[in-house]
Structure formats: structure tokens, C-alpha cells
Amino acid sequence: MTQPPASDGPMSLLFDVWLLNSLTSGLLDGILEETDLNGDDYGMYSLLRRFGPATPTQIRRWTGQRPTTVSAHLKRLQARGHITRSANPADGRSHRVGLTPDGEAAHDRATEPFLAAMHTLRARFVPDTIRERLVLQHLDSILRESAGLDPRPYRVALDQDSSDHDRTDTSVLAYTGAPLSAAEEQQVRLYIDFLHSQDANRA
């Protein structure tokens, strides 16, 4: 494989994220091609199954998708008989959507090849995937704050999955408090860099 040429100018971080998103979408489509779902479907089904029922507005504020995109996607799921709509007990003017048993069954069928692919990919990722996920979570937080969206419905923590840690590393810092804002996370990272620089100076 030949090395790609250097770009004429620096590409932006947002372009890096877009490129990674495109690669992920194509990879998921290939993994799930023998199932009823594509990559976008699998994400939506997983979101509804884990965190639903949820209103279409909440789904939009979690995903950042346009209202028309969320509406069209939910209509496709409804046509398959995979979602159910119910009144929102917190607001009589809106409704919530969740997966039907058929929807959960379709998600189960797609999960089998997804997990098989993840088992293969896991060995190719760096050993410490938690820290990489924390970097992605930091980018996620910045983009959400910039767009005025809600926090994601889950949070990655350093001590979340011990299988993702290098078991010889005893310097893992656990934090179980309230989620930090993007600015607060950046301050923590700067302080950690400062501590590392002090260690290097003493060496």
C-alpha cells in the first residue's frame, strides 16, 4: 500500500470526523448486508432499544439529525411494523416511539454479525480502546455544545470496562462524578499534560 500524498493544506478536524463517519457507515452496511438492517438502521434500533421509548424530538437532540431525517427514518421502521407509538406521559401533545417485539427480533438478527465483526476488529484496535473512546467522547461533547444539543444518553468512563485496559497499567484514573463539560474536560487534560511535563523535568 502506497502512502497517500500530503494534502496541499491542513484538513480540518471536522473533515477527519466526517471521513471516519463515512468509513464507519460503509463498514456497517457491509457487515449487515445479509440482515434486514443497514448501518443507519442498526444505530437507530440500538438507540431505541437501549434508551427508548423516546420522543422524535429527543432522538433528534441525541443524534443531531434533522427533524425530517428522523421523521423519514421512523416512518420506514413503522412501515416494517418495528416501532410502536404511545402518548408521552410527560407531555400530552407529543408521543414516544419504541421497538415492537418484531423490531427487537430484527435487531437481534443484526446483532449476531455485528458482534462477530467487532470480535475481529477488536484485535486490530490498539489495546487501550477506552482512552480512544474518551477522545471521541470529548469531540462529541464539543460538537453537541456547539449545536445546542443534549448530552449523549450514555457516558464512557475510564473504569467502565476493565477488559479494554492494559492490565499492566496501574495509573488508570477512575471518575464517577457528574459528566464534565467540554471546557472542563479540556482543563483536566491540560492539567494531566502539565503533571506529565513535571515528571519529565524531574527525570
Residue 203: pLDDT above 70? no
Q: How far apart are CA 90 and CA 109, in angstroms?
A: 33
Q: How far apart are CA 163 and CA 198, in angstroms?
A: 30
pLDDT in tens, 123-181: 787 666 888 888 999 999 999 999 999 999 999 887 665 444 333 333 445 566 677 77
**Partners of 99 in the β-ladder:** 83
pLDDT at position 164? 42
Per-residue pLDDT averaged across 28-36, rounded? 97
> If one looks up domain 16-124 in CATH, what number appears?
1.10.10.10
Helix or strand run (H / E) with residue 93 = strand 91-99
Phi, psi for residue 166 in degrees, rounded to 5: -70, 115
The gap between the terminal CA atoms of the chain, to the nearest Å, is 40
Q: Whole-model pTM?
A: 0.75
pLDDT in tens, 34-55: 999 999 999 999 999 999 999 9
pLDDT at position 83? 97
Q: How far apart are CA 131 and CA 169, in angstroms?
A: 13
Output DSSP code: residue 35.
S
pLDDT at position 163? 45
More confident residue, 186 or 105: 105
Residue 199: pLDDT above 80? no
| Per-domain residue ranges of the chain | 16-124, 126-203
- Which residues, 6+ apart, have CB-to-CB distance to 181 below 8 Å? 141, 145
pLDDT in tens, 99-120: 999 999 999 999 999 999 998 8
Return the number of other C-beta atoms located less than 10 Å from residue 99's C-beta.
22
pLDDT at position 42? 97
pLDDT at position 115? 94
pLDDT at position 8? 60
Which of 95, 105, 100, 107 has the alpha carbon at shortest distance from 54?
95
- Is residue 45 a contact partner of residue 109, using CB atoms and an 8 Å limit? no
pLDDT at position 167? 34
pLDDT at position 11? 83
